[in-house]
């Protein structure tokens, strides 16, 4: 790739706005205490908001006016298979992390036996009414189908474990979900400047997450305990697969029981459909 291509106007617009966004966040947050002490909290937040708005305005202006579909093109015709595989992996992980935020999706009907009905009735009995309300009488027959809410709002987080669920993947699942969605979309476009623009949110996650961790380790704006730091990572899956959380097979088994599986399945299916729709040639 020639220097002229790297320094072309579309490429500068593709990266420039994001670099400005990363830089102003890094500088202002790193010097937060000094700026607030000397200029006041309101002035600090006004400056932060103004610069972030300006940075994101340049990001979106550059995309729609200078970057989208700009040459050079990396391929013509259908998206290469390798690009589609890479896109599917990034989108599946990004959407998979985002899918864990809403309540757990569950099939809205279930088959209930007499034993499970009695057990559910017993569990549902509150401690206050336990001495007054006895167990519900068993239903006749072998059980039947029961309609239930399609969303499970219960929280099954294990408070005894230092790490749980999405924390196993990354300390910053929100940032990386955003970054991986952009990176996955980048593989599907032929325009090099557009691909750079779409990949930049992953750099926001990488640099922004690392800087947040650095600040928290120093007690600036938050805390990052040594125990939690050792068993988690900024980069997705690094702590899980490196053995920092224990035996990898055991960790994967624990993780599978901690996530919302149907949510994740919907996310992976959506990623597959998106890649298929973007990966074919439009006539």
Tell me the mean pLDDT in the region 13-17: 97
Q: Name the pLDDT band for 148 (thresholds 50, 70, 90).
A: confident
**Residues 245, 171: contact at Cβ < 8 Å?**
no
pLDDT mean across residues, the chain = 86
For residue 26, count CB atoms less than 10 angstroms from its CB and return exposed for 0-12, middle for 13-18, buried for 19 or more.
Answer: middle
- Which one, of 66, 62, 90, 279, lies nearest residue 189 by Cα? 279
Tell me the mean pLDDT in the region 93-106: 92
Q: Is 57 left (phi over 0), alpha (psi -120 to 50) or beta?
A: alpha
Tell me the mean pLDDT in the region 25-54: 95
Tell me the mean pLDDT in the region 158-183: 90
Q: Which ranges constitute the DSSP H helices of 7-40?
A: 9-30, 32-39
pLDDT digits (tens, 9 = 90+) for 57-69: 999 999 999 999 9
For the entire predicted model, the pTM comes to 0.82
**Residues 195, 189: contact at Cβ < 8 Å?**
yes
């Amino acid at each position: 790739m020639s220097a002229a291509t790297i320094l072309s106007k579309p490429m500068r617009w593709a990266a420039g706005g994001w670099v400005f966004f990363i830089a102003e966040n890094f500088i202002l947050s790193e010097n937060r205490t000094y700026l607030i002490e000397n200029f006041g909290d309101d002035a600090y937040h006004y400056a932060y908001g103004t610069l972030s708005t300006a940075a994101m305005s340049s990001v979106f202006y550059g995309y729609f006016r200078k970057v989208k579909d700009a040459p050079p093109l990396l391929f013509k015709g259908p998206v290469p298979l390798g690009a589609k595989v890479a896109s599917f992996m990034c989108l599946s992980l990004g959407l998979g992390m985002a899918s864990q935020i809403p309540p757990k999706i569950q099939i809205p009907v279930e088959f209930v036996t007499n034993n499970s009905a009695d057990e559910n009735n017993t569990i549902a009995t509150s401690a206050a009414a336990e001495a007054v309300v006895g167990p519900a009488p068993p239903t006749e027959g072998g059980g039947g189908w029961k309609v239930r809410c399609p969303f499970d709002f219960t929280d099954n987080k294990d408070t005894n474990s230092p790490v749980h669920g999405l924390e196993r993947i990354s300390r910053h699942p929100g940032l990386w979900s955003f970054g991986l969605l952009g990176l996955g979309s980048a593989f599907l476009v032929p325009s090099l400047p557009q691909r750079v623009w779409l990949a930049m949110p992953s750099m926001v996650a990488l640099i922004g997450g690392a800087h947040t961790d650095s600040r928290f380790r120093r007690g600036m704006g938050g805390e990052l305990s040594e125990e939690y730091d050792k068993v988690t990572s900024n980069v997705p899956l690094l702590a899980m697969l490196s053995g920092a959380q224990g035996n990898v097979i055991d960790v994967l088994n624990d993780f599978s029981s901690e996530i919302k599986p149907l949510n994740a399945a919907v996310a992976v299916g959506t990623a597959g459909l998106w890649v298929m729709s973007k990966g074919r040639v439009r006539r």
